[in-house]
Amino acid sequence: MKKGKAENLGILSTIRGINVPRFVVLRPGMSEGEQGKIIRGFLKTCHGNTVAVRSSADQEDSSGASFAGMYTTKLWVQATEQAIQVATQEVRHSGTQKKEVVAHYAKQRGLELSESIVSVIVQKMIEADMSGVIFSHDLAKADGYYTVSVSSGVGETIVGGAANGRLIRIARGVKPESMKDAWLQKLIVAMKAIEQRFRSPSLDVEFAVQNNTLYILQCRPITTVQAEMDKVSEKLSLNRIKSVNASVASRFCGDVLGDMIDINPVELLGIIPTSLDISIFKYLFADKIVEQVRQDMGYNPLHIGVLRVVEGKPYVSMRAAAFSFRPRGISDKIYERMVRVYRNVLVNNSALQSRVEFDVFAMGCGEKLERVMQEAHFNDGEKSIVREAFLCIGEVFSRVSTAQVENFDKFATDYEQRTAVMNDASLSDILEHVARGTEMFARVARLAFYWKSRFEELHPREDLNVLMSGHIRSVNEQLQSDLVACRNGTIAREEVIRRYGHLRPGQFSVFGESYADDPNAYLFAQMERAEVARSQRQAHAFEGATEFRHIVTFMEARERMKFLFSQSFHLFATKLKRQLAQRGISECDASRVSWEELWTCLNDSTPLSTSQVEHGSPVLLPDVIIPGLTNLEVITFSEAMPSYITSSIVKARVCVLERLGVKADVRGALVLLPNADPGYDFLFHSGAVGIITKVGGPASHMCIRSIELQMPACIGCGESVYQKLAAANSAVLDCGTRQIIVLN
């Protein structure tokens, strides 16, 4: 497929059932009079007040290069000859204005630039109800799924990188009539016809929907990766997806599975954890410890473990998590009705999965509990039983909290001392020691979250984050102090590494990086900027309140225990790596098995069996699965997902460019942008080592360019991550594990 945009539009117009808005092409070399004649003829038959004027350069949208976003597109141009002539000149000269950018791009793609003037397409403007882009497959790899990015209104906000769009993944081979949305059915039917006509399973197609009519606006090849997926492979992939669908529905019916419900396996392990990491996470948290800790605090869990694994991806069971917060004295039958209320909330708003503890579950007597009981249709007797049970939980937490305040410091000190003398212990004993630390971590974290929830119920109008300012002392504060001391020569660099080298920048993968693996990046890169500073302490009327004092106490304890169990976990990981090297077992092979299998191999000197059945492309899984309702053939993500480009790890200073036209030294920097506007494409040849944008999806020109030029990038990181990065001096962009870590 070597044709350009105009030729592709012509071919699209010949496909039966495909609606292409009327257009004309203004070729290079035409006189103003010739152009005027064509425009006037077009306007006689094009009914509408506005038109779109876009480029069609010689090699634009060819199989060799996309030239995405390098030429201007003019929308809502007044449908007059003069306005179209002016817009045409702007489009033609837009490439000249970006001459340096275009030249760098062409060189990177191994192309010779043509000096010919750009052709221009004048096309009827579609005032779309919704619009977007559909790709034959993921831009980074052939994965057996169509990718659709769609938003309301005109789609230039998506390709221009000003919005993320809603992301939908559709398994290739799925029958269009099985989809609920009529517009999506039409889109897939059209896409299949277009792929057949162009004889390519690797296309990028822009579309718009107006008054239930689907329009195809343009088509181009995906230049980032070429894919072949025959009908047999499509059928096998679809059958596997159906099998997973059926398995999920039968195994977890009535439940909700989420990435970040309760103990957050994604936060600790990432979205693609290994079998080894999952099994260790279960041992340290999810199988017994979490529920046992909560039972000790007056809850009555089911003791079924809170983790569920679907196709190698860990989820937390909403039902198991909810029951782990059931106060003693409430029967299974009564509490099941409360759980159904919680489930309905998550079904209606799956984005709340990361807020269930504060926004969904009832944690004490109060307005939320009354609302849940009302929605569960409890009678007066049942309400009385439930209220009494929650009142008892409050009493238990008061007693447990008092005891924990008295005992925590001794436990933490003993634990740290024990870690320091465990170098010669077995891996099994060290892991058991780690589990003692994670048990205490789970205990003080539960206390902190309980009192936080309690405070917010009692004082719903207060901003607790503001009230806590300056009250909690963190590990990072001490680290900053030690870096200042190191800079002044009073502490050696080796001592800083000894104290903080066990910390990890992101997830607790066994083979993940620690600060000790790259101390210059993780510790000393920020030493010159380190300051001994404490956040301003907020004085307020709640400082003496029991709830507030417990929040401060147990949040500090939580951070201390995380620091301490990280030490013992680092000891375990370091010793495991050493023993694997001695046995000649690769980390890759070790990652494919459970801890129990690996320990048997290391302990008994038996061969490590890593044989796995190959299933072809993996089944895509959303962040939330609602068994019986979620269809894995068509997945609509609750929020636009960030697009990570390459598998590189970049550690660098952060350079913020809040708007176009701002001049800054981006050499060697991770550049932070508010959106994926193609106007920022000068970054690709300005020495930047990575790009992060707040908004922008897989259909944006910047995303396509990043993939083509293999620039490490995260397109569409989201508001919260963006704000943290904007205040940071340096960060890690880990595209392989799909995470961004603020270093300071």
The two most distant CA atoms of the chain are separated, in Å, by 90
Sign of CA dihedral 380, 384, 390, 391: positive
Start-end of H helices in 510-545: 519-522
Phi/psi for 376 (5° steps) reads -85, -5
Q: What is the pLDDT of residue 472?
A: 79
Q: Are strands 23-26 and 730-734 parallel, antiparallel or unpaired?
A: unpaired
Q: What is the pLDDT of residue 303?
A: 95
* Cβ contacts of 527 within 8 Å, gap of 6 or more: 483, 486, 487
Q: Contacts for 685-692 with beta carbons within 8 Å, 24 or more apart?
A: 685/100, 685/101, 685/104, 688/655, 689/650, 689/652, 690/648, 690/650, 690/652, 690/733, 691/715, 692/717, 692/722, 692/725, 692/733, 692/740
Q: What is the pLDDT of residue 315?
A: 93
Q: Are 502 and 514 in contact, with CB atoms under 8 Å apart?
A: yes
- Residues 121 and 20: their CA atoms lie apart, in Å, by 13
Neighbours of 294 (CB within 10 A): 21
* Cβ contacts of 520 within 8 Å, gap of 6 or more: none
Q: What is the pLDDT of residue 59?
A: 52
Q: Are 340 and 610 in contact, with CB atoms under 8 Å apart?
A: no
Host H or E run for residue 263? none
- Residues 233 and 226: their CA atoms lie apart, in Å, by 16
Phi/psi for 205 (5° steps) reads -125, 125
Global pTM reads 0.79
Secondary structure class of 122 (helix, strand, coil): strand
Ramachandran bin of 405, using left for φ above 0, alpha for ψ from -120 to 50, beta for the remaining angles? alpha
Q: Mean pLDDT in runs of 10 for the chain (744 residues)?
A: 75 94 90 90 87 75 51 88 92 70 58 64 92 85 85 69 74 88 95 93 91 93 69 85 93 92 80 90 92 95 94 93 96 97 94 85 90 97 96 92 95 97 95 96 92 86 83 81 92 94 83 89 79 75 91 92 94 96 92 93 81 65 91 80 85 85 80 82 80 82 78 84 83 85 78
- Residues 360 and 369: their CA atoms lie apart, in Å, by 10
Q: Are 77 and 53 in contact, with CB atoms under 8 Å apart?
A: yes
Sign of CA dihedral 640, 641, 646, 652: positive
For tokens 């904007």, the residue is: 726
CA-closest candidate to residue 728, choices 692, 697, 680, 679: 692
Q: Are 470 and 538 in contact, with CB atoms under 8 Å apart?
A: yes
Q: Contacts for 105-109 with beta carbons within 8 Å, 24 or more apart?
A: 105/65, 105/67, 105/70, 105/681, 105/684, 105/705, 105/708, 105/709, 106/65, 108/684, 108/708, 108/709, 109/64, 109/65, 109/223, 109/708
